[in-house]
Amino acid sequence: MKRLEGKTALITGAARGIGLEIAAAFAAEGAAVAVADLSAQESAAAAAGIADRTGARAIGLGLDVTKEADCEKAVAETEKAFGKVDILVNNAGITKDGLVLRMKEADFDAVISVNLKGAFLMSKAASRLMLKARAGRIINISSVVGQSGQAGQANYSASKAGLIGLTKSLAREFAPRQVLVNAVAPGFIRTRMTEGLKEEARAAISGLIPLGRMGEPGEVAKAALFLAGDDSAYITGQVLAVNGGLYM
Ligand code: NAP
């Protein structure tokens, strides 16, 4: 029996990178998946690829997680297509790095808006169904820098630390209805977000990681899969680090 047979999942920022790997991993374990991203076209293409590879049902949705109406529509469309929303993964995220003295207010606001407010809006929209169903999983993709801090990423690390607070608060609020809320905190993972790093920066980072290398998106997806399935039924309000030992 597949681990997510009969389940439905909505994953934001899932047209590429970590979100795409999570959607594909869930589909491979039998879940019907809604791939939601800024571009409806890219989401549809990603969903078609997943359906081809896994045979699972997959739909693509366009949404901007900073807009409440988009979040509500994405949840409604997922429910319309699959009948319910069992699992929400708040994965959409952006960076706008810079030292604080040079960081524009707009760059601070944009990162908080997508990474933190987006997760709040999506959780609010999806939890209506989950609380009624007295079951559900919300998985927030935080980051190692939300735990450790990072020079040049005050906005990003604040958003990711905020996600951990949001995770714990939602976990407490929703626990009486058996809706479990956890976070995954990846370290440095090879995606578009990190591909801009220079070779020396990459080598320096790898030197700081006890396991000696950057992580793969699929390795983050496996942690999300664990938190989405029955094996984690007694785990809520936790942060699962997938960082090669970078932060302990
Ligand atoms: P990515 O390849 O850049 O993918 C992020 C996706 O989110 C993109 O498809 C992007 O769409 C989408 N997105 C951006 N703003 C959005 C919005 N307002 N509404 C809906 N979707 C939006 O990044 P990734 O590396 O896979 O990162 C995925 C998550 O993991 C992020 O939350 C990131 O912070 C976190 N993370 C990544 C790393 C890492 O090392 N890569 C480490 C720790 C945590 P567009 O492409 O159209 O802009």
Give distance in angstroms: CA of 169 to centre of ligand 1: 23
Cα(205)–Cα(214) distance, rounded to whole angstroms?
8
CATH superfamily, domain 8-189+216-242, is NAD(P)-binding Rossmann-like Domain (3.40.50.720)
pLDDT band for position 46 (cuts 50, 70, 90): very high
Dist. CA 206–CA 210, nearest whole Å = 8
Token readout for 218 is 């699929």
Q: Is 189 in the pocket of ligand 1 (CB under 6 A)?
A: yes
Q: Where are the alpha helices (DSSP H) in 63-215?
A: 68-82, 105-112, 118-133, 144-148, 154-174, 192-195, 199-208
Choice among 91-105, 188-202, 205-219 with the minimum mean pLDDT: 188-202
Query: Of the residues 38, 202, 206, which should be mutated to test ligand 1's pocket, given the most ligand atoms within 8 Å of the CB?
Result: 38
Residue 42's H or E segment, with its range, is helix 40-54
Atom of ligand 1 nearest to the CA of 186: 43
Its pTM stands at 0.98
Phi, psi for 39 (deg, rounded to 5): -95, 120
Tell which atom from ligand 1 comes closest to the C-alpha of 113. Answer: 18
What is the spatial distance between Cα 111 and Cα 243, in angstroms, rounded to a whole number? 22
Q: Is the CB of 8 under 6 A from ligand 1?
A: no
Give me the chain's average pLDDT, please. 97
Catalytic position from the list 26, 120, 156, 188: 156
- Identity of the residue numbered 215: G
- Atom of ligand 1 at shortest distance to CA of 156? 34
pLDDT at 47: 99
Reported as a pLDDT band with limits 50, 70 and 90, residue 201 is confident
**CA dihedral sign of residues 140, 248, 171, 110:** negative
> How much helix, strand and coil, in percent to the nearest 5, is found in the chain?
55, 15, 30
Task: Give catalytic status of residue 234 as yes or no.
Answer: no
Q: What are phi and psi of 211, to 5 degrees?
A: -80, 0
User: Does residue 15's CB lie within 6 angstroms of at least one atom of ligand 1?
Assistant: yes
pLDDT of 199: 86
| Residue of 41, 191, 209 to test ligand 1 pocket, by largest number of atoms within 8 Å of CB | 191
Residue 1 C-alpha to ligand 1 middle, in angstroms? 31
Cα radius of gyration (the chain): 17
* Res 193 pLDDT > 90: no
Helix or strand holding residue 60 (H, E): strand 58-62
